[in-house]
Amino acid sequence: DTAVSQTPKYLVTQMGNDKSIKCEQNLGHDTMYWYKQDSKKFLKIMFSYNNKELIINETVPNRFSPKSPDKAHLNLHINSLELGDSAVYFCASSQGGPSGQGPWGHFEAFFGQGTRLTVV
């Protein structure tokens, strides 16, 4: 049983296209995230949702729009793809509330296998 699953694993598309990446977790977690890993392996958070509510939006271009239909799913839609969007996108989930305080802060995040997006 895959805890955090993303689809597709690979995505090759042309500039200007619109694409979506889907993520599902079966861990019963309340919080889900999107991270972007660039070509130098640097990981940066993009968004965080807690119980379908957007909690963190780290100055990501408006072309990126996350959607959480329920707390087990967090999808990422990207409009008008650019060359610079090429990266590996990771979905993750963890227990806990939106602030990270209280009893939840020590819970780790569980990551999906990543989606390698290549824009040509």
Partner 1 sequence: AQSVTQLGSHVSVSEGALVLLRCNYSSSVPPYLFWYVQYPNQGLQLLLKYTSAATLVKGINGFEAEFKKSETSFHLTKPSAHMSDAAEYFCAVKGRGGGGNKLTFGTGTQLKVEL
Of 15 and 41, nearer to partner 1 (C-beta) is: 41
How far apart (Å, rounded) are the C-alpha atoms in residues 63 and 17?
A: 11
Smallest gap from Cβ 105 to partner 1, in A, equals 5
Smallest gap from Cβ 30 to partner 1, in A, equals 9
Smallest gap from Cβ 65 to partner 1, in A, equals 19
- Name residues whose C-beta falls within 8 Å of residue 42's C-beta, 6 or more positions apart in sequence: none
What is the amino acid identity at position 3?
A: A
Smallest gap from Cβ 79 to partner 1, in A, equals 24
The single residue listed with the structure tokens 């296209």 is: 17
The end-to-end CA distance of the chain, in Å, is 34
Of 70 and 108, nearer to partner 1 (C-beta) is: 108
The site for partner 1 (CB under 8 A) is made up of 4, 31, 33, 40-45, 48, 50, 55-56, 90, 92, 94, 96-101, 104-106, 108-114
How far apart (Å, rounded) are the C-alpha atoms in residues 72 and 103?
A: 21
